[in-house]
Amino acid sequence: MDSIKLTLPTKPEYVSLARLTIASVANNMGFSIGDVEDLKVAVSEACTNALNHSKNPDTTYDLTYIVENQKLVFTVTDRGIGFEPEEVAMPDLNGKQLGGFGIFIIKSLMDRVEIISERGSGTSITMVKNLSTTHEV
Amino acid sequence: MDSIKLTLPTKPEYVSLARLTIASVANNMGFSIGDVEDLKVAVSEACTNALNHSKNPDTTYDLTYIVENQKLVFTVTDRGIGFEPEEVAMPDLNGKQLGGFGIFIIKSLMDRVEIISERGSGTSITMVKNLSTTHEV
Amino acid sequence: MNSNNIIETGKTSMVSIKGEIDIYSIEKFRASIEKEIMTQATQIILDCSELSYMDSTGMGVLIELRNKSKEMGQRIIMMNPRPNIKKLLSLTGVDKIIEIVDNPAN
Amino acid sequence: MNSNNIIETGKTSMVSIKGEIDIYSIEKFRASIEKEIMTQATQIILDCSELSYMDSTGMGVLIELRNKSKEMGQRIIMMNPRPNIKKLLSLTGVDKIIEIVDNPAN
Ligand SMILES: Nc1ncnc2c1ncn2[C@@H]1O[C@H](COP(=O)(O)OP(=O)(O)O)[C@@H](O)[C@H]1O
Ligand SMILES: Nc1ncnc2c1ncn2[C@@H]1O[C@H](COP(=O)(O)OP(=O)(O)O)[C@@H](O)[C@H]1O
């Protein structure tokens, strides 16, 4: 069980580093091309939320990738304002709504998602992708 | 001044992540292709030393990249046995010697190198590459 | 549908979208499409053959731009999005309001 | 120097070295060259056209393999190393004991 930690500046220009590193780790683990793309999207959505919503007072936020036997477990953690994950509504998928897709996309693409958020102290979203999953684009 | 931190497993298969991330950061900063290659070599040499020599009892070691105005400052830190940097001899460059090139290569390619090492508590090597340097391969 | 013909008609603009669209590059993307909307072309084709990455930030702006262009009586068409991006367009329902075509020439 | 001719002589082996040689991939590299040394070819050409990365770990093994092959009366030649790798070969003096050739065909 190998663990990789990445601390990134709370700035849009570094979100690509989250994608680059997860793609490399997932490739080496043997994930399919389609799964690697899904992992890039999931980690980016979580980083984008940390930048857009957390009001993170810190100049950095954290990512952890844990390489397990048959799965990749990764977490994005900010030290921002937090929110109530249960109160986030499922987006309308009729092309009218401009936002609100991030968490929905993450949940659609990953095998397991856990959000731990506390008002005033921040949010931590943990995503799991199983290696064996073979639903391919 | 943006700072990126990366904690990697003390294993050969993850050294490529150090190269991947420094290449991305350096590219975005506007370093030339040749300089990016030199940065990849320098960071790899430092990681390779952490793996080969530090006897790091930890499962991980750390990298930091600091993006400054006109330079990239990066550090590789292990929590291993340490050594005396002054006692490292310049390698023979006659093709007879099998090793001892790492620190020599780092010093040749980078603009500034500082090694802080303490017996029993570990080694930290800080390397600096200036953006303006225009010696190209 | 052939890109040369299209450009000749004078009513269609073609924009090639390359690289990655994310929270960093989104404003550049928005600006380049808004420029096309201003030209009052009746059709705006986004050539996505070389678009390697797009996420929900891009979806949101696509919907926004499509609403704007609809007001102007224009159509936006996405050409040759890669499978990973198609998947997201479908997941979010964006493919119901923006036409997606695969150009066999590519 | 043409790779086809070389292979026809039967005394020369050609090995294509691809990707990155570092502390992770070094054992695979060493093994593949040692296999060639065993064939007792008089020349071993390492085609480095697609070798994107090599550092001091690779330099050390190159010197080691060159010593072994010299004992067997063999020559090792590196063909088409990229500028970044050439720079390290020169910096470490490895280019003094291993012949480096640029094949204009590549
Ligand atoms: N890291 C976070 N910190 C605070 N609030 C968050 C965070 N992530 C998500 N949220 C809240 O959840 C909502 C839904 O997020 P999401 O599904 O990603 O869509 P969007 O980002 O487009 O609003 C956000 O609008 C925000 O209120
Ligand atoms: N991180 C480290 N921890 C302990 N010793 C080190 C470290 N880095 C370098 N050294 C010492 O310095 C010597 C020279 O290192 P280097 O120039 O990289 O060549 P090589 O790794 O081939 O020996 C090593 O042999 C080792 O004794």
Q: At D35, is the secondary structure helix, strand, or coil?
A: helix
User: What pLDDT score does A93 carry?
Assistant: 86
> Of the ranges B81-90, B122-131, C2-11, which one carries the lowest mean pLDDT score?
C2-11
Contacting chains of D (3 CB pairs or more, <8 Å) are: B
Query: Could you tell me the pLDDT band of residue C103, with boundaries at 50, 70 and 90?
Result: confident
User: What pLDDT score does D40 carry?
Assistant: 84
Longest distance between any two alpha carbons in chain A, whole Å: 44
Residue D1 has pLDDT above 50, yes or no: no
Average pLDDT (A49-60) is 95
Domains of chain C: 6-101 (3.30.750.24)
User: What pLDDT score does A65 carry?
Assistant: 98
DSSP E strands: which ranges in chain C? 12-16, 19-21, 43-47, 51-54, 75-79, 99-101
Distance CA D21, CA D52 (A): 8
Q: Is C60 on the interface with A (CB under 8 A)?
A: yes
Closest of D73, D85, D79, D74 to residue D99, by C-alpha: D79
User: What pLDDT score does C40 carry?
Assistant: 83
Residue C7 has pLDDT above 90, yes or no: no
- Model pLDDT for residues D58-96, shown as the tens digit of each residue: 999 999 999 999 988 999 999 999 999 999 999 999 999
Residue A137 has pLDDT above 50, yes or no: no
Measured CB to CB, residues of chain A less than 8 Å from chain C are 12-13, 15-16, 19, 34, 37-38, 40-41, 44-45, 47-48, 51-52, 91-99, 101-102, 104-105, 108, 137
Q: Are A96 and C62 in contact (CB under 8 A)?
A: no
- Model pLDDT for residues A71-129, shown as the tens digit of each residue: 999 999 999 999 999 999 999 888 788 889 999 999 999 999 999 999 999 999 999 99
User: What pLDDT score does D5 carry?
Assistant: 40
Query: Could you tell me the pLDDT band of residue C10, with boundaries at 50, 70 and 90?
Result: low
Contact D56 B13 (CB under 8 A): no
**Nearest residue of B to residue D88 by CA position?**
B105
Residue with tokens 């990016």: B36
User: What pLDDT score does A108 carry?
Assistant: 97
Minimal-distance CA residue to ligand 1 atom 2: A54
- Model pLDDT for residues B90-102, shown as the tens digit of each residue: 998 887 888 899 9
Q: Which two tokens stand for residue D91?
A: 């910096």
User: What pLDDT score does B94 carry?
Assistant: 83
Ligand 2 centroid, distance to B9 Cα (angstroms): 19
Which residue from D23, D66, D94 is facing B15, i.e. has the nearest CB? D23
- Model pLDDT for residues B74-123, shown as the tens digit of each residue: 999 999 999 999 999 999 888 788 889 999 999 999 999 999 999 999 99
Minimal-distance CA residue to ligand 2 atom 19: B100
More confident residue, D36 or B81: B81
Dump the DSSP string for A41-78. Answer: HHHHHHHHHHHHTS---SSEEEEEEEE-SSEEEEEEEE
Q: In one letter, which amino acid is A84?
A: E
Using the Cα atoms of residue B123, residue B14, residue B2 and residue B127 in order, give the sign of their dihedral: positive
Mutation site, A8, A19, A58, A74, interface B, largest B CB count within 10 A: A8
User: What pLDDT score does B122 carry?
Assistant: 97
Q: At A114, is the secondary structure helix, strand, or coil?
A: strand
Residue with tokens 């052939």: C2
Residue A11 has pLDDT above 50, yes or no: yes
Class of domain B2-130: alpha beta
**For ligand 1, what atom is nearest to the CA of residue A45?**
18
User: What pLDDT score does B95 carry?
Assistant: 79
Please report how the helices D83-91 and B33-52 are oriented relative to each other, as an axis angle in degrees rounded to 10.
50
More confident residue, D2 or A68: A68
Residue with tokens 């940065």: B39
User: What pLDDT score does B22 carry?
Assistant: 98
User: What pLDDT score does B93 carry?
Assistant: 86
User: What pLDDT score does D7 carry?
Assistant: 47
User: What pLDDT score does D39 carry?
Assistant: 87
Output the CA–CA distances (angstroms, integers) from residue A51 to A13, A54, C10, C57, in the order listed: 11, 6, 41, 12
C5's enclosing H/E stretch is helix C3-9
Query: Could you tell me the pLDDT band of residue C8, with boundaries at 50, 70 and 90?
Result: very low
Q: Is B59 on the interface with A (CB under 8 A)?
A: yes
Report the Cα–Cα distance between both ends of chain B, in Å, rounded. Answer: 28
- pLDDT over 70, % of chain A: 96
Average pLDDT over chain C reads 89
User: What pLDDT score does A134 carry?
Assistant: 55
User: What pLDDT score does D105 carry?
Assistant: 67
Residue D4 has pLDDT above 70, yes or no: no
Closest of D76, D77, D95 to residue D85, by C-alpha: D95
Contact A4 B4 (CB under 8 A): no
Average pLDDT over chain B reads 94
Ligand 1 centroid, distance to A53 Cα (angstroms): 6
Which residue from A44, A99, A104 is facing C22, i.e. has the nearest CB? A44
φ and ψ at B130, to 5 degrees? -80, 140
- Model pLDDT for residues B25-41, shown as the tens digit of each residue: 999 999 999 999 999 99
Residue C39 has pLDDT above 90, yes or no: no
Model pTM score? 0.92
Dump the DSSP string for B54-120. Answer: S---SSEEEEEEEE-SSEEEEEEEE-S----GGGPPPPP-SS---S--HHHHHHHHSSEEEEEEETT
Q: Is D22 on the interface with B (CB under 8 A)?
A: yes
φ and ψ at C12, to 5 degrees? -115, 130
Minimal-distance CA residue to ligand 2 atom 20: B100
> Of the ranges A16-25, A63-72, B91-100, C73-82, which one carries the lowest mean pLDDT score?
B91-100
Ligand 1 centroid, distance to A87 Cα (angstroms): 10
Give the domain ranges of chain B.
2-130
